Amino acid sequence: METVTKGKKMLLGGKWLGREETITVYDPQDNTVITTVPKASKADMLRAIQAAEEGAKTAANMPVHERISVIQKAADYIARKSERYAEIIAREGSKTITEARKEVSRCITTLRVSAEEARRMNGETIAFDQMPGHENRVGYYYHFPVGIIAAITPFNDPLNLVAHKVGPAIASGNAIIVKPATLTPLSALLLAEAFDAAGLPSKILSVVTGSGSEIGDVLVMHPSIRMVSFTGGLETGERIARIAGLKKLSMELGSNSPVIVLKDADIDAAVSSCITGAFGAVGQNCLGVQRIFIEKEQFDSFVEKFVEQANQFKVGDKKDVTTDMGPLITEKEAIRVEEWVAEALEGEATLLAGGKRNRAFYSPTVLTDVPADAKIAKEEIFGPVVILFPVETLDEAIEKANHVNYGLQAGIFTKDIDLAFTAIKRLEVGGIMINDSSDYRIDAMPFGGVKGSGMGREGVRSTMQEMTEPKVVNFNLK
Query: Which residue of the set 99, 193, 252, 466 is catalytic?
Result: 252
* Minimum distance from residue 388 beta carbon to ligand NAD (Å): 21
Q: How far apart are CA 50 and CA 57, in angstroms?
A: 12
Q: How far is CA 402 from the centre of its chain?
A: 22
Q: What share of the chain is helix, strand, coil (3-state, %, to 5)?
A: 40, 25, 35
Cα(253)–Cα(175) distance, integer angstroms: 23
Q: Distance between CA 177 and CA 266 in Å, rounded? A: 46
CB closer to ligand NAD, 117 vs 458:
458
**From the CB of 47, what's the least distance to ligand NAD, in Å?**
18
Give the integer Cα–Cα distance in Å for 442 and 462: 13
Active site residue 2: no
Q: What is the dihedral of CA 263, 264, 268, 271, to 10 degrees?
A: -50
Q: How far is the CB of 185 from ligand NAD (least distance, A)?
A: 9
CA 375 to centroid of chain Cα atoms: 23
Do 59 and 357 touch, CB atoms closer than 8 A? no
Instruction: Name the minimum Å distance from CB 73 to ligand NAD.
Output: 26
Please, what's the largest Cα pairwise distance for the chain?
78
* Rg from Cα positions in the chain: 23
Told to judge if 286 belongs to the known catalytic residues of this protein, a careful annotator would answer: yes
Residue placing its CB nearer to ligand NAD in the complex, 104 or 394: 104
**283, 267, 169, 309: which is closest to 227 by C-alpha?**
169
Give CA torsion, residues 425, 426, 432, 435, to 10 deg: -90
Q: How far apart are CA 409 and CA 294, in angstroms?
A: 17
CA distances from 176 to 17, 72, 248 (A): 17, 18, 14
Q: Residue 20: which residues within 8 A CB-CB, separation 6 or more?
A: none
State residue 204 phi and psi, 5-degree precision: -80, -35
**Which of these is catalytic: 92, 103, 286, 380?**
286
Residues 457, 303: Cα–Cα separation, whole Å: 35
Task: Encode burial over 297-323: b for 16+ CB neighbours within 10 A, e otherwise.
Answer: ebbeebbebbbebbeebebeebeeeeb
DSSP 21-79: SEEEEE-TTT--EEEEEE---HHHHHHHHHHHHHHHHHHHHS-HHHHHHHHHHHHHHHH
Task: Using CB under 6 A, list all residues that contact ligand NAD.
Answer: 152-157, 161, 179-182, 212-213, 216-217, 220, 231-233, 236, 239-240, 252-254, 286, 380, 382, 408, 454
Closer to ligand NAD by Cβ: residue 282 or 352:
282
- Give catalytic residues, as residue numbers: 252, 286
